[in-house]
Amino acid sequence: MKKWTGILFLLGSATAFAAPCDTKRDLLLDNSETKVWRSTICPNQQLPFHTHEHARVAIPAEDGTLKVIYQSGKTEVIQLKKNQPIFLDKAQGKEAHQDLNTTQNILHITVIELSKD
């Protein structure tokens, strides 16, 4: 019993000291031809309303699900597969929208915006 108590204590301690998740966007490259950023979206959190002027390629580092919530009230669900690029056309990004992580895992998505479309 002491062995199990110690293991449970260690598991609880690791959880208590886990780094908090921070939903954010980190800019990696920005020039006249392309823009690249990495979005971190914590479980059950969303990015603020935003738009995109150009087509994009999104490459998720994990499997997951994004719910895109448009300002008009329309929603769209995007299934993400680890390391599988997704093309998002210019029209998709024009309307203000939020990206909501509906999974229980942190999502890291590298986005490449194509400035010459």
Residues belonging to the chain: 117
Enter the pTM of the model: 0.80
Up-side HSE of residue 109: CA atoms within 13 Å toward CB? 30
Q: What is the pLDDT of residue 8?
A: 46
Question: Which residue's structure tokens are 């780094």?
Answer: 19
Residue 73 φ/ψ region, left for φ over 0, alpha for ψ in the -120 to 50 degree band, beta for the rest? left
> Angle at CA 18, nearest 5°, toward 16 and 21?
125
Return the domain boundaries, the chain: 21-114
**What mean pLDDT, rounded, does the chain reach?**
88
The region of weakest confidence among 15-24, 60-69, 86-95 is: 15-24
CATH fold for the domain made of 21-114: Jelly Rolls (2.60.120)
Mean pLDDT of 98-114: 97
90, two tokens: 């210019």
